[in-house]
Structure 1
Amino acid sequence: MLFDVEDGYTKFENTAVENLKKIILNHFKIEHKSSLLNIFYGPTFNKAKIASLCETLALEASDDPIIARFFYDAGCHLAKMLIAVSKNFDQEMYDIVPVLAIGSVWKSWNLLKPGFLEILHKETIIRRVSIYQLEESPRIGAAVLAAKIKLGENFHSKDFRGKTRLIDEIRNIHQ
């Protein structure tokens, strides 16, 4: 957005993106937007550092309509991804869809949720969504899966299932 507005690709008032520009430059401790190219595409690319911008932006979303729109749009994209994979559901799964929320972007669920709901209300037959968060590292599940594949171990104990907690439940999507 920053590049698009300042380069004249997107029609938007330059003054409206000044706050966004200031936040991004401060977050990455740079002075010019052109330095972002090295951060995003250069040899020092660091996914975690880029992802941490989400938390910084989330703190500003209530005061900045452009930033709030980013989160709204991201919520729309999450719903569209869910709808895309739902084409593989059996009929029963449409009644309650479990979603495992992995990644720090879910810390901003309150900002993502309005866009997520708008798309679900318009474009799907999904009736309920339960969003869960892992309470332990996904590495445990990866290790169990690796043992099963490589060693032929078959774990039946529920002790090896990931522990989760419900963070949100969206009911009656189409009522």
Structure 2
Amino acid sequence: MKYFGGVEGGATHSRLVICDEQGNSLALTTGLGTNHWMVGIPEVARRITDMVQRAKEEAGIESEVRLASLGLSLSGCEQEATNQELEYEMRNTFPEIADSYVVCSDTMGSVFTASPIGGMVVISGTGSNALLRNPDGSTYTCGGWGHFMGDEGSAFYIAHEAMKIVFDDIDNLKKSRYPIDCVWELIKQHFNVDTRFDLLPHCYAKFDKPFYASLCKKLAHAADQDDALAKCIFNNAGRCIARSIAALIPKVQDELVKTGYLSVVCVGSVWHSWHLLREGFEHEMRQHDIPFDLRLVTITKSMAYGACYLAADAIEMRLPRNYLDNFDVMYHYHTKEKPTNGHSSNGCSSAESIVVRC
């Protein structure tokens, strides 16, 4: 009997799955973060080894039995040079773990959890990123540069946009088209401050991106309570996400869309507010010539399964799998849909494809 493993590795936590030759999951375990930029390659290798050994014990597999393949779909693994360095570390420091490795970014695991030939994944969580993987192995990205150079459409972007609008309105530099009172109160509550000067340490000396971005959840609640400014900010975020998809459309190969639509895997907490993003998303998509429909899906299983599939395929072992069990369809965008008028219902002008300043 051969066994196959896959790891979904994030900055704060990781998951590992082991499957048998029939594609059955024998063990699913968790571990610490495995982003090598944060903890170093030797520590990542040690943490992966720890998860594998614990999963083997859970599955009743003897510790000396090596996995036939192990897919490592990890945050921070975007560069081939460091990916090879991690594989070298695994093979030489922990030779008992696996016979074959595939090391790739965490976005790749998302794609292959939903499809055997590739597709697109759009991450909108604390940060944002979009990636396209074609059947021939070619890969293209849009975004993923972090909050200093990008992160449009992410939780950080939404939080920062809200704060910038409030700052500019109070300065009388650029007045908000909607009242800022509700959003300003949420900002003060979230950061436990009274003035804008009190916010400056959170923006600079004590900057904590996840905490900063977590303001997004409160803004989503305000939007659900019909606050016009919060609704407009989410509308703009939806447009940003749509533009990242449109940017990659010219690179999509025909085989990916032979069904008539492109599957887009949606990853990240901001997608939980799809009802707030949808209107801006739809309007922005209509500004682009998209020759096929889009099917937005959410993963229902750990992305470790995609990493496992990818590694097994690399050694020409086709594990049985049912992709329909791995995702739910969230939304279907039809390219023939037309806007009913020139304005969105929340009051944001939709006459232009640029982001509207709220």
Which 10-residue stretch deviates more, 94-103 or 81-90? 94-103
Which deviations, in whole Å up to 9, do the C-alpha atoms of 1:98-155 show, x marking residues without a partner? 111100000010110101111112222243111111112334545666x67xxx7555
User: Match of 2:295, as an amino acid?
Assistant: S
Shift, 1:96, TM fit: 0.8
Query: Unmatched 5+ residue regions in structure 1?
Result: none
Deviations 1:45-81 (A, max 9, x none): 142x233222211111142111110011111111111
Residue number in structure 2 paired with 1:20:
183
Name the structure 2 match of 1:117: 282
**Who is 2:170 aligned against?**
6
Identify, as 1 or 2, the structure richer in strand: 2
In the TM superposition, 1:122-137 aligns within 5 A as 122-137=287-302
Asked whether 1:52 is paired with 2:214, we answer: yes
**Letter aligned with residue 33 of structure 1:** R
- What pairs up with 1:19-38 in 2 under 5 angstroms? 19-38=182-201
| Separation (CA, whole Å) in 2 of partners of 1:41 and 1:4 | 18
Is contact 1:99–1:130 with CA below 8 Å preserved after alignment?
yes
Q: Normalising by structure 2, what TM-score? A: 0.42
Q: Residue type matched to 2:328 in 1?
A: R
Does 1:86 find its partner at 2:86? no
In the alignment, is the contact (CA less than 8 A) between 1:38 and 1:45 conserved in 2?
no
Number of residue pairs matched by the alignment: 170
Take 2:320 and 2:237, find their aligned partners in 1: how far apart are those partners?
34
Alignment TM-score, normalising by the size of structure 1: 0.80
**Maintained 8 Å contact 1:101/1:132:** yes
Is the contact made by 1:39 and 1:46 (CA closer than 8 Å) also made in structure 2?
A: no
* Partner SS for 2:196: coil
Specify which structure has the bigger relative contact order, considering alpha-carbon pairs within 8 angstroms and separated by 6 or more residues.
2
Instruction: Identify the structure with the greater helix proportion.
Output: 1
| Alpha-carbon distance in structure 2 between the residues aligned to 1:140 and 1:51 | 28
- State how far apart, in whole Å, the 2-side matches of 1:33 and 1:25 are: 9
Q: Aligned-pair distance for 1:21?
A: 0.5
- In structure 2, the CA distance between the partners of 1:44 and 1:75, relative to structure 1 (3 Å rule), is closer
Aligned residue identity for 2:272: K
Report the identity percentage.
25
Mean CA deviation greater in 129-138 or 155-164: 155-164
* Secondary structure in structure 2 of the residue aligned to 1:16: coil
Which SS does the other structure have where 1:87 is aligned?
helix
Deviation of residue 35 (structure 1)?
3.4
Structure 1 residues 32 and 156, CA, compared in 2 at 3 Å: closer, same or farther? farther
**2:54 aligned partner:** none
Cα distance in 1 for partners of 2:254, 2:235 equals 29
SS of 1:100's equivalent in the other structure is strand
